[in-house]
Amino acid sequence: MKATVVTYGCQMNEYDTHLVESQLVSLGADLVSSVDEADFVLLNTCAVRGKPVEKVRSLLGDLRKVKAQRPLVVGMMGCLAQLEEGQQMARKFQVDVLLGPGSLLDIGAALESNERFWGLQFKDELHAHIPPAPTGKLQAHLTIMRGCDHHCTYCIVPTTRGPQVSRHPDDILRELDSLLAAGVQEVTLLGQNVNAYGVDQGARLAGYPTFAELIRMVGRSGVQRVKFTTSHPMNFTEDVAAAIGETPAMCEYIHLPVQSGSNRVLRRMAREYTREKYLTHIEQIRRHVPHAVLATDIIVGFPGETEEDFQDTLSLYDEVGYDSAYMFIYSPRPGTPSYTHFQDLPREVKTERLQRLIVKQKEWSARKNAAKVGTVQQVLLRGDAHDPAFLEGHTSGNHPTVVPKALGADRPGIYPVRIGHATPHMMYGTLLGPDGQPLPELPRHTPEAAALSSPLQMA
């Protein structure tokens, strides 16, 4: 069998894709990169916003046409598969295999029966499974928990992924050891709310560390870089900030979603914290991690958001001075309280506010990135950029960075880079040798390389 997995959504879905791909390989399947080559196409879906759902619907329509022309097994997994909306879609488009987020290890039984498999349960044993480490990659995701015990009014995650289940620390460290043995240099700890690790359904788990303690444990493993995503301010503690500051392997990039700067909107979202409480966490982070690179999530146009509420969000952005932000127009999702009880704002209002926020974000990102010009950053270079004469990667502050290939540094790895130019969304630099001097650049033979070498073109 030739199989391919098409992934939508968050980093948790990317991790789940790797897990289920390892299951498929163990069953004897050959993984292919193209839907056209595959006998089995599995869609790993997201239901948090409407756009990924529409992408799934469109692809399922195309696959139904392919099934009419040749033998093809189509599967759907992930958050959308857990919802009635997704199950109706599966019936309409003749999906053969349906797996909920907690049933990924049942892919073999589903394919063996070759019937619709409605395995929509949450299974704790999924956490004990150690997938094989990715080969040839310097980065990897490492799940520490699944599900969420919060019930934000806009969020479908508690419905699709169930209540919080923290993974046993022994399993986390075993998987981490396998990643390090495979050459992974940067690990991202994953969870719907990593700050709440070890406290499931309101109860502290015996023998489980706090998230701050887990950070310190992971930092002692020998890994070079550690990041995490995502976190809820309600469960953030100063000990987490202290652990980040005390652990050399921890990246200074910290993602702390705020969603809105208005206390009134935060209450309607059921976020369980105030603007003032959130700013207390920012102060704690800056005290323990002076060079912290701060990122956030913001939802624009939540039902009932007034212009005054939106101005509160803009002022919070200025007060914090975020380096970057993931910004979204509110997307009503069936099955959430906000969909049932609140009236959506007009699309044009939400779009106009998002554009104003994007302008604000670009101004701050340009200012923050410009401050890095002339500094030396440790950059994890993943491989070739669009132009093969260049390598692309990111700093420990998660800034996307491009450098020309240089003698002795023409392959993936972590290298010192002097930043020479920056835009709001990209940095450009020069690779340095052990003596701090620029390494000789390799010859460039393409027009793209010549264009990238010009700061005027890069801007």
| Residue 95, helix vs strand vs coil | coil
Neighbouring CB atoms inside 10 A of 306's CB total 12
- Tell whether 251 is in a known binding site: no
d(CA 89, CA 52): 14
141-162 core/surface letters (b: 16 or more CB in 10 A; e: else): bbbbbbbbbbebbbbbbbbbbb
| Residue 330, helix vs strand vs coil | coil
DSSP one-letter code for 441: B
d(CA 227, CA 247): 11
E strand or H helix at 403, and its extent? strand 400-404
Neighbouring CB atoms inside 10 A of 37's CB total 13
Beta bridge partners of 187: 140, 226
Three-class SS of 277-310: HHHHHHHHHHHHCCCCEEEEEEEECCCCCCHHHH
Apex CA 232: angle with CA 231 and CA 238, to 5°?
85
Q: Do residues 310 and 298 make contact, with C-beta atoms less than 8 angstroms apart?
A: no
Residue 53 C-beta-side C-alpha neighbours within 13 Å? 21
DSSP 40-94: EEEEEE--SSHHHHHHHHHHHHHHHHHHTTS--EEEEEEGGGGSHHHHHHHHHTT
DSSP one-letter code for 166: E
DSSP one-letter code for 222: T
DSSP one-letter code for 101: T
- CA distances, 26 to each of 15, 22, 30, 108, 311 (Å): 17, 6, 10, 9, 53
| Residue 145, helix vs strand vs coil | strand
Binding site for [4Fe-4S] cluster, by residue number, is 10, 46, 79, 148, 152, 155
Annotation: binding site: 10, 46, 79, 148, 152, 155
